[in-house]
């Protein structure tokens, strides 16, 4: 079974530039998550989709971050404009249903460096 795919694996940009990350979840998984993991910290949930609807985006900095999940499959997370403090690993995860009692499967992450 193929895992969660993410691209790119690494990205270096300058502050105020834009960047986009892509995630392809495990086939058949209804729920998709985007996490931000700053070095030395645990992952922080940014947004959760159930199929193509947003379940929770309360921790997403909406003035600069946006995310979409078209057709309930792939998802894109965008940052515009980027700030220095956005330097982190962005993890995508998926689960069959709601993750409360359901295992989340994580992708390898995208490491973003903002200069």
Using CB under 8 A, list all residues that contact other proteins: 4, 33, 41-45, 48, 55-56, 58, 91, 93, 98-101, 103-109, 111
CB of 81 to other proteins, least distance (A): 26
Q: Which residues pair with 36 in a beta bridge?
A: 44, 90
Hey, what are 113's tokens? Answer: 């460096």
CB of 114 to other proteins, least distance (A): 19
The span from the CA of 27 to the CA of 13, in Å, is 31
Nearer CB in complex with other proteins: 30/45: 45
Nearer CB in complex with other proteins: 45/73: 45
Nearer CB in complex with other proteins: 49/65: 49
CB of 89 to other proteins, least distance (A): 8
Say if CB 92 and CB 75 are below 8 A apart.
yes
Nearer CB in complex with other proteins: 19/109: 109
Backbone angles phi, psi at 72, to 5 degrees: 70, 20
The span from the CA of 17 to the CA of 22, in Å, is 17
CB of 25 to other proteins, least distance (A): 12
């Amino acid at each position: 079974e193929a895992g969660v795919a993410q691209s790119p694996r690494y990205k270096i940009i300058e502050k105020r530039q834009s960047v986009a990350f892509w995630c392809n979840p495990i086939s058949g998984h209804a729920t998709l998550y985007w996490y931000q993991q700053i070095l030395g910290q645990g992952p922080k949930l940014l947004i959760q989709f159930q199929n193509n609807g947003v379940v929770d985006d309360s921790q997403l900095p909406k003035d600069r971050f946006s995310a979409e999940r078209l057709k309930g499959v792939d998802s894109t997370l965008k940052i515009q404009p980027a700030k220095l403090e956005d330097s982190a690993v962005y993890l995508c995860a998926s689960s069959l249903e709601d993750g409360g009692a359901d295992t989340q499967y994580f992708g390898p992450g995208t490491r973003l460096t903002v200069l």
